Structure 1
Amino acid sequence: MSTPAPTRERRGLFALIADLPRLIRELIEAELAQLKAEVIGKLKAAGIGAGFLVTAGAFAFFGVLVLTAAGVLALALVMPAWAAALVVGGVLIVLAAIAAAIGVQQLRASVPPTPTQTMESVKEDVRVLRGLGKRGAS
């Protein structure tokens, strides 16, 4: 013997209206959770960008140290001392430039940390509540 399929409970208008505050509260909570997740993601990207900029500064600092040391140590066996110092320092400066470019790219991707997805979702929710659009329609 099979069990009958569950039937949907028909609720009156007043019951539906009574549920509105709960539904709106749940919607607001969901939007706030999305906002928090989006801002945290953008701040993480900004932190990564800042880390690459610090790395670029470290490479630049070591580049200056190597240029100074290269002048003192003078790799004169292979080439003139000034040329050896320029080559080693130049390589480190190029590494610093690469790290700086990556850092700037990361910062640009995360700034400003505006929660654009959440703002669009809230706008869509407002349109749905006003009856101007249907949820999920793009």
Structure 2
Amino acid sequence: MPAPPGSSDERSLGEIFSDVANDLSTLIKQEMDLAKTEMKEEAKKAGKGAGLLGGAGLAGYMVLLFVSLTAVFALDEGMPLWLAALIVTVIWGVIAAVLAVTGRSALKRSNPQLPQTQQTLKEDAAWARAQKN
């Protein structure tokens, strides 16, 4: 407990360091508890959003399925059904191939090693070592 203003503090240097260490430990624990609480709240929001996006993805898939069926039946008016289905299938195959190639090249360009974070952590460690010496 800090001494009131105007009074002399009779604590030893070791007691002062111990109090500071305890206060710092308490502060860190409180910050961690706050971070946990905030993360739980954000995770709930993210979970709800992910569920809604999953539902939207399923609905989008159904739209594509029925648009494809509509295209097959429309093409069937001027050609055999098997040929109409084959044409729609080839179109979807080309779309899938383009998306796969594009996605693959995007993954190759990504850098999961987080170079900036690694660099700043190295700088922090060097700074901490310099403070010890």
TM over 0.5: no
The structure richer in helix per residue is 2
Structure number, greater radius of gyration:
2
Which structure has more relative contact order (CA 8 Å, sep 6+)? It is 1
TM bin (shorter chain): 0.3 to 0.5
